[in-house]
Amino acid sequence: MTQDPFVNRLGIGYQGGRRLLNRLSIFVSSLWDEGLRLALWWALIMASTICILELCRWFWLIYPETVIGKKYVSGSGDFPDFAYLVLHEPHWYTALFLVTGPFAVSLALAWFSRFFYLKRLFYNPFGSILRAFIWATPTAVLTGYYVIAYIDLTFEAATICAAGPSLALTPQAFRAADRLCPELGDCIRWLRRGLRQLRRGIHRSKPVNAERFPNEHAHF
């Protein structure tokens, strides 16, 4: 089978090109599967958070009518920030920040730890429950700083509200990182292999160019 001269010049060849396309196809398929799975998880956590906020709204509507609630309202004169949030803010707006924040932060932490081998030290040796708590804690804290910029909550309240979505999304983020994110050593090995093949292709092309243009070589 006739091979492309440019492909031959790079030292890839027909079989190498097929392997490259096959790996690219597998990566695109994995990317689609993981993206769809993460999107479904995001939608599920989003719907659950909206339902929980609605339950909290009903609780704070009923609570002031109870004996303890009347004493609390008469003593403090106002509701806490979270109660005001669930009573007056749209639930979808609140849930959007409480879920999207942990979603983005957990993905960033998972890919960073996978790339720099931190996952081998602080994730793989532990059980699933301990893993979630170890990595969901910084996720919730970082999300708290993000949420208070858009929602009228204290940092402590924002961190507590983000803890649930962080616990649910952190394991899914690490699973996606395992399938899609390479480690630093993999990238270095692929770079060396590519440079080696490129160097071989350049050496192979020199005799071919000498045969094609003998007059130019003789002239110089």
Question: What is the DSSP track for 26-78?
Answer: HHHHHHHHHHHHHHHHHHHHHHHHHHHHHHHHHHHHHGGGSHHHHHHHHHHSS
pLDDT at 10 over 60: no
Q: What percent of the chain has pLDDT over 70?
A: 78
The structure tokens listed for 60 are 């704070």
pLDDT at 107 over 90: yes
Element (H, E) at 97: helix 91-115
Candidate from 20-24, 112-116, 146-150 with smallest mean pLDDT:
20-24
Q: Distance between CA 98 and CA 159 in Å, rounded? A: 9
pLDDT at 6 over 50: no
Residue 152: the pLDDT is 83
Residue 202: the pLDDT is 67
Between the two ends of the chain, the Cα-to-Cα distance in Å is 35
Average pLDDT over residues 175-185: 91
Q: Which residues of 77-100 are buried (b: 16+ CB within 10 A; e: fewer)?
A: eebeebbebbeeeebeebbbbbbb
Residue 215: the pLDDT is 55
Q: What is the DSSP letter of 79?
A: -
Distance of CA 195 to the CA centre of its chain: 30
Residue-wise pLDDT for 118-134, tens only, equals 999 999 999 888 998 89
The structure tokens listed for 85 are 């949030």
Q: Using alpha carbons only, give the angle 65, 50, 150 rounded to the nearest 5 degrees.
A: 95
Average pLDDT over residues 1-10: 47
The DSSP result for 118-160, as a single string, is: HHHHHTTTS-HHHHHHHHHHHHHHHHHHHHTTTSS--HHHHHH
Confidence of residue 200 (pLDDT cuts 50, 70, 90): confident
Residue 76: the pLDDT is 57
More confident residue, 13 or 176: 176
- pTM listed for this prediction: 0.76
pLDDT at 12 over 70: no
Q: Distance between CA 15 and CA 17 in Å, rounded? A: 5
Average pLDDT over residues 165-191: 92
State the amino acid at position 172 in one-letter form. Answer: Q
Q: Which long-range contacts (CB under 8 A, 24 or more apart) does 6-9 make?
A: 8/201, 8/204, 8/205, 9/201, 9/202, 9/204, 9/205
Residue-wise pLDDT for 62-103, tens only, equals 877 787 777 766 665 555 667 777 878 899 999 999 999 999
